[in-house]
Amino acid sequence: MSATTGDAVLPVTSTPSIAALDAAGGKLKKRLTSPWASLAAVLLAFLWTAPTFGLLVTSFRPKAAIDDSGWWNFVAHPSFTLDNYRQALSSNGGGLGTFFVNSAVITIPAVLIPIALASLAAYAFAWIEFKGRNLLFVCVFALQIVPIQVTLIPLLSLYVKAGLAGTFWTIWLSHAMFGLPLAIFLLHNFMKEIPRELVEAARMDGAGHVQIFFKVLMPLLTPALAAFGIFQFLWVWNDLLVALTFAGGTPDVAPLTVALANLSGTQGTAWQLLSAGAFISMVIPVLVFLSLQRFFVRGLLAGGLKG
pLDDT tens string 267-290: 556 777 888 888 888 888 888 888
Per the document, the length of the chain is 307
Rounded to two decimals, what is the model's pTM? 0.76
Confidence at residue 26, expressed as pLDDT on a 0 to 100 scale: 56
Identify the sign of the CA torsion 57, 62, 63, 67: negative
What does the buried/exposed string (b/e) look like for 76-89 if buried means 16 or more CB atoms within 10 Å of the residue's CB?
Answer: eeeeeeeebbebbb
The ranges assigned to domains in the chain are: 3-81, 96-306
DSSP 2: E
Nearest alpha-carbon partner for 92 in 273, 281, 284: 273
Mean pLDDT of the chain, nearest integer: 80
* Sequence-distant (≥ 6) Cβ neighbours of residue 16 within 8 angstroms: none
Confidence at residue 304, expressed as pLDDT on a 0 to 100 scale: 47
Confidence at residue 307, expressed as pLDDT on a 0 to 100 scale: 44
Where are the alpha helices (H) located in the chain, listed in sequence order? Answer: 18-32, 35-60, 63-68, 83-89, 96-127, 133-142, 148-162, 168-192, 196-204, 209-211, 222-237, 241-246, 256-266, 271-304
Ranges of residues in the chain whose predicted pLDDT is under 70: 1-33, 91-94, 264-269, 296-307
Confidence at residue 193, expressed as pLDDT on a 0 to 100 scale: 83
Q: What angle do CA 305, 178, 258 make, to 5 degrees?
A: 120
**Calculated CA dihedral for residues 100, 105, 107, 109, nearest 10 degrees:** 170
Confidence at residue 300, expressed as pLDDT on a 0 to 100 scale: 60
Nearest alpha-carbon partner for 233 in 302, 294, 183: 183
Nearest alpha-carbon partner for 144 in 58, 57, 30, 228: 228
Domain 96-306 has CATH 1.10.3720.10: yes
